[in-house]
Amino acid sequence: MGINILSIEKELEELVDHIQRAAREEAELVGAARDVLFKADFGRLQETIIEFQSRQERAPWLVAIPQEALDTSVPSQTPPPEFTVIASDGSFIPPDRHSPIHFFLLNMGQATMHYGESSFADLSSRAKLYFRPSETFVRDENGFDMPIEGSLLSWKMAVEELAFLLDTAVRLPPPLLAIRDGSLILWGLQGESKDIQKEFLYPALRTIGRFKEEQIPIVSYISYPGSRDVCNALRVWLCPEDPLRCRCEEERDRALCNFLRTSVDRTLFQGILQKGNRSAVFSSSSGVLDLYGEHRIQFFYLNVGSEIVRVEAPQWVFEAEGWLDFVQAVLIDQARRGEGYPPALMEAHEQAVVSMEERRTILRLLENELGLAGVSLTRSSKDRSKRIRGV
């Protein structure tokens, strides 16, 4: 039986009213937060954040460390007459716990787009089936073999995306920009054992190191980011003594602190950055970045016209002469060509996606081959029940 809409009609009306009131309150508080952003001295804020993080009581949230003045808003330059953009994306068929056969499939997609007098596009994908125990399990420090599924599978895919991106990029002449969808910060690996980090983080860092050796700038592009690192930095500025609990004496300041606890950075920069402009560059305080070494990730926010996006890159990309301007110019050009979203990422996604029909085809092929070999599959009763109508 479906949802009885009439039973939640009153709550829907109350939700709309709540959203309207919250929007009015937010508009006033966002304005106040932007005032703080314009007035805060980034040098003093750097010192305050470092001092705050050195205390025994570490903040349970991420704080952006500014590398430029907080009110920075840099217009985009014109991209070079000839340049190439390459993007990668990935998808997978996860292990099926209802099947006696343990395997997963990764499908990597890439899109290469060259702009200039001899414009061209190259689209391709590469799939790989993982079925050997050495490929589908990873051993932790206790000697326990963990199946590569869930978050482990996502990290495995991130590693392969970077490798596929590099394999294509090294065959292309500069100027070239490599783009990955999603964050370059493998957040979840911070709390994992050294064995898990060795399996997933270190290969990713080695690949990023190869990008540096080949002098290829690599960035990640995050649409509709939910990060609040900069908002948290403003909390530290407002309440340097105790930002975790807020000791502001003025009621207005307390309201602003409470607002910043749940606000996101894109809302803050929406009214500051003009179309095409980028924010200051920030360093992330994520603990996992302590393992990144020279590849520590920095980021900035960019107004591509339709939204505020977050752009991440290893610090050597933003520090290299001319690359920061090149990255900004190319991404703005990509957003213009894709009506708000880079066409290279769109096409890479289309190459990577595995449809339900393709999944069913692969499973049928596997079952047929096993049948010809005289091997029968016995799936779980729960799985069989889903294929039969009970009533």
For the stretch 19-60, pLDDT in tens is: 888 788 888 889 989 998 988 888 999 998 888 877 755 567
**What pLDDT is attached to residue 98?**
74
**What pLDDT is attached to residue 96?**
83
**What pLDDT is attached to residue 132?**
92
* Domain residue ranges of the chain, discontinuous segments joined by +: 83-227+264-359
Between CA 324 and CA 345 the distance in angstroms is 20
For domain 83-227+264-359, say whether CATH 3.30.2170 is its number: yes
**What pLDDT is attached to residue 186?**
94
Buried b (16+ CB within 10 A) or exposed e, 176-202: bbbbbbbbbbbeebeebeeebbebbbe
**What pLDDT is attached to residue 391?**
47
**What pLDDT is attached to residue 376?**
67
> Is the Cβ–Cβ distance between 124 and 344 less than 8 Å?
no
**What pLDDT is attached to residue 58?**
58
pLDDT one digit per residue (tens) for the chain, 391 residues: 567 778 888 898 889 888 888 788 888 889 989 998 988 888 999 998 888 877 755 567 899 999 999 999 999 999 999 999 999 999 999 998 777 788 899 999 999 999 999 899 999 999 999 999 999 999 887 888 899 999 999 999 999 999 999 999 999 999 999 999 999 999 889 888 888 999 999 999 999 999 999 999 999 999 999 999 999 999 999 888 778 888 777 777 788 988 898 899 999 999 899 999 999 999 998 889 999 999 999 999 999 999 999 999 999 999 999 999 999 999 999 999 999 999 999 999 999 999 989 888 888 888 787 777 776 666 555 555 555 555 4
